Amino acid sequence: MPTRTASSRRAPVPVRAVDFVMYSARNVRRTRAFYQRLFGLKKGGEWNDFWSEFRTEPVTLCLNGRGTKRRPEWHWEGPPCVAFAVDDVPAAVAACRRAGAKVLVAPVETRVCWMAWIADPDGNRVCLHARKDRTAG
């Protein structure tokens, strides 16, 4: 019986790219201004009081602040988070659940993407992300 190599096995949740890195911000406007003034970062796709993106190709830098009353689950404080581009967020979450990963936020749809958050064994947040335009990275 032939042995399977690592390259012949398919991961339960294949990652296409890293889409963004997210920092938590107590005051998004103040933190956003810091990155703009000090580093000259330019406004990205989303820009409001609880989520801001900077154009830092190939990986986007995001700031996540206090969630709105409509989306209180988006109020997170803590360490940075990496967002992995996946083909299908609900399917990726299902695979994570089968593997025993803790789901922090079930799949949510925004105007530009689908996202969900899980925790790794050390409690680090991992975003599962799929842009509606099918781009990654």
* CATH fold group of domain 13-131: 2,3-Dihydroxybiphenyl 1,2-Dioxygenase; domain 1 (3.10.180)
Q: Which residues contact 102 (CB under 8 A, 6 or more apart)?
A: 118, 119
The reported pLDDT for the residue numbered 47 is 77
Q: 108 falls in which pLDDT band (50, 70, 90)?
A: very high
Whole-number Cα distances in Å, 39 to 34, 61, 72, 128: 8, 12, 30, 28
β partners of residue 60: 20
Question: How many residues are there in the chain?
Answer: 137
Residue 48 corresponds to which tokens in the numbers above?
Answer: 């409001």
**What is the reported pTM?**
0.81
Q: What percent of the chain has pLDDT over 70?
A: 86
Better-predicted residue by pLDDT, 104 or 70: 104
Contacts of 90 (CB under 8 A, 6+ apart): 107, 114, 116
